[in-house]
Amino acid sequence: MAKGKFVTFEGCDGCGKTTQTRMLCAYLDDRGADYVFTREPGGGKISEAIREVILDGKNAEMTDECEALLYAAARVQHLADTVKPALESGKLVLCDRYFDSSFAYQAEGRGLGDKFVASINAYAIEKFTPDVTFLIDLPPEEAFLRKNGADENDRMELAGAEFHRRVYRGFIKQAQKNKKRFVVIDGRQSRETMFASILSALKDRKIID
Ligand code: TYD
């Protein structure tokens, strides 16, 4: 059984996730903590190659099912390359996005439904469920404002306002269905306030000292 702790970060594009994970890594570095920071899709050679195919704005004809399967494939490889070895050696693993993103973006956003997404992610769900998942709760209208609009080379960001509204609702639904695992952070707060909530949740759960 895995000994390390597994923490994931979720939210709409531009919600402020990256700032929070950077602040957490700096905090842990200052204390000499042994941890691994990684991201999805990506985090290793094969998964990064899959990431490029998925996000490439030129791959407009990709079917929704193909997209969902590629995210799941990148995830399985990333688990084997990075997450599993780190957890087995007792490390703390921090991951920017994980299977909850597939429930938000593919199940809700693309409309593929929870059943399909759960079935293709069963391996990750059964064997590597996070100990805690932080959802940075910021509606897409505000998230995109913060980012100055969508990145024109990013297929997901180009998917349209209605799509991103559904994604947002998908995240809220995941958090409501998994209340014990999720910690919802109000994304409208200052970065310092959000970070303080993240730290205290990690301390309460004895994930960090
Ligand atoms: P990324 O640049 O990492 O987004 P961000 O920095 O905003 O987190 O790109 C990842 C994109 O992939 C993002 O739009 C969310 C999407 N995604 C899914 O649609 N399904 C998934 O399972 C995952 C992990 C990501």
Q: What is the pLDDT of residues 17-57, one digit of tens each?
A: 999 999 999 999 999 999 999 999 988 899 999 999 999 99
Atom of ligand 1 nearest to the CA of 15: 7
| 183 pLDDT more than 60 | yes
Query: For 68-79, what is the mean pLDDT?
Result: 98
Query: For 66-77, what is the mean pLDDT?
Result: 98
The pLDDT value recorded for residue 112 is 98
Between 163 and 148, the more confident residue is 163
The pLDDT value recorded for residue 134 is 98
Q: Counting Cβ atoms within 10 Å, is residue 155 exposed (0-12), middle (13-18) or buried (19+)?
A: middle
Return the residue matching tokens 């299977």: 99
| 1 pLDDT more than 70 | no
Mutate-to-test residue for ligand 1 from 96, 97, 116, 171, highest number of ligand atoms within 8 A of CB: 97
Ligand 1 centre distance from Cα of residue 130 (Å) = 17
Position 141: which residue type?
E
The pLDDT value recorded for residue 49 is 97
pTM for the full predicted model: 0.96
Q: Cα dihedral angle (78, 170, 162, 55), rounded to 10 degrees?
A: 0
Ligand 1 centre distance from Cα of residue 1 (Å) = 28
Length in residues, the chain? 209
The span from the CA of 106 to the CA of 184, in Å, is: 21
3-state helix, strand, coil in the chain (%, to 5): 55, 15, 30
